[in-house]
Amino acid sequence: MPRLPAASDDERALVAVTATVRADDGVARVRLTDAYVRALERAGLIPIVLPPFTGSESEVAAAVGRVLDAVDGLVLTGGEDVEPARYGAAPSQHLGRTNPARDQTEIAAVFAARQRLLPTLAICRGIQVLNVALGGTLIQDITSERPAALIHDPDAARDTRTHPIQLVANSRAARALGATTLLVNSVHHQAIDRAAEGLVITATAPDGTIEGVETREDDAWWILGVQWHPEEFVRHGGAPDHGLFAALAKAIQRAGVATP
């Protein structure tokens, strides 16, 4: 019989990646866009799916806490609209599909990540749910609430760069991308309205739409949040967006070194 090692000597960091539940051939299935998994693998990380849990708030928080105890970082992924009640708003008629179990799980994940100082990368819905969890608000529908805004949900392939953003020089995002301007893809009809306390706005579109937030350098909790979808460029060699995943991997490495 072949001898198997008692424990793996693989030293790659584990990252919890949030997911949704969606009907597929009439069957409810946990789903996550494959590009997130590939982009994290490319950065040398091992992604683990964190599905929407159900139960009371304390049960969900306990379950999420167990998962986050076992990982080194968190990625909040794209998806449904956050329930407006979560930020004290009545639903707009332009509100899209919501997923209360996912809201509950991901908000618990934000708190658990903060408690554990787990480096956190937030993408699209991720930046929105992160902002709501920390006390900020959202624009429920850009087109109806900001008629002068650019088109942020064009009819284009997910990896088509459709609008520019401006980044704050020397911000975490600008350093990760190696640029202070970037043409990005845009697959969202919601955006951050009021940014939560503790989050610094580091990227905006020309119409003022918030496209990136992060924590301050002196904040012990590393956060990088973007409104676009950097994972969609995983197969585009040389895309600056790879730098965001590399930045997460580096932050995890640094956090590991700092831990006694």
Looking at beta carbons only, is 128 or 186 nearer to Mn ion? Answer: 186
Query: In the stretch 201-240, what mask flags binding to Mn ion with x, by CB under 5 A?
Result: ----------------------------------------
Q: Is 140 or 186 the residue whose CB approaches Mn ion more closely?
A: 186
Q: How far is residue 72 CA from its own chain's centroid?
A: 15
To Mn ion, the closest distance from the beta carbon of 209 in angstroms equals 6
User: For Mn ion, what does the binding mask look like between residues 84 and 123, x meaning CB under 5 A?
Assistant: ----------------------------------------
Among the listed residues 124, 188, 189, 211, the single catalytic one is 124
The site string for Mn ion over 241-260 (x = CB under 5 A, - otherwise) reads: --------------------
Half-sphere exposure of 178 (CA within 13 A, CB side): 7
Q: With respect to Mn ion, which residue has the nearer C-beta, 114 or 229?
A: 229
User: Comparing C-alpha atoms, which of 240, 5, 258 is closest to residue 118?
Assistant: 258
End-to-end CA distance of the chain: 39
DSSP summary character for residue 22:
E
Output the smallest distance, CB 162 to Mn ion, in A: 8
How many angstroms separate the CA atoms of 167 and 205, rounded?
9
Is-catalytic flag, 236?
no
From the list 188, 224, 178, the residue with the least C-alpha distance to 209 is: 188
Catalytic residue, chosen from 80, 214, 231, 232, is 231
Which residues, other chains included, contact 9 with Cβ-Cβ below 8 Å and sequence gap of 6+?
A: none
* Residue 231 appears among annotated catalytic residues: yes
Restricting to residues 150-189, which ones interact with Mn ion according to CB under 5 A? 152, 186
Q: Which stretch binds Mn ion (CB under 5 A): 13-21, 95-103, 145-153, 252-260?
A: 145-153
Closest CB to Mn ion belongs to which residue?
A: 186
What are the C-alpha distances in Å from 131 to residues 22, 57, 179, 223? 24, 19, 24, 11
Q: Which residues contact 165 (CB under 8 A, 6 or more apart)?
A: 181, 182, 183, 184, 203, 204, 205, 211, 212, 228
Q: Is 152 designated active site?
A: no
- Contact footprint for Mn ion (CB under 5 A): 152, 186
Catalytic residue positions, numbered:
124, 229, 231
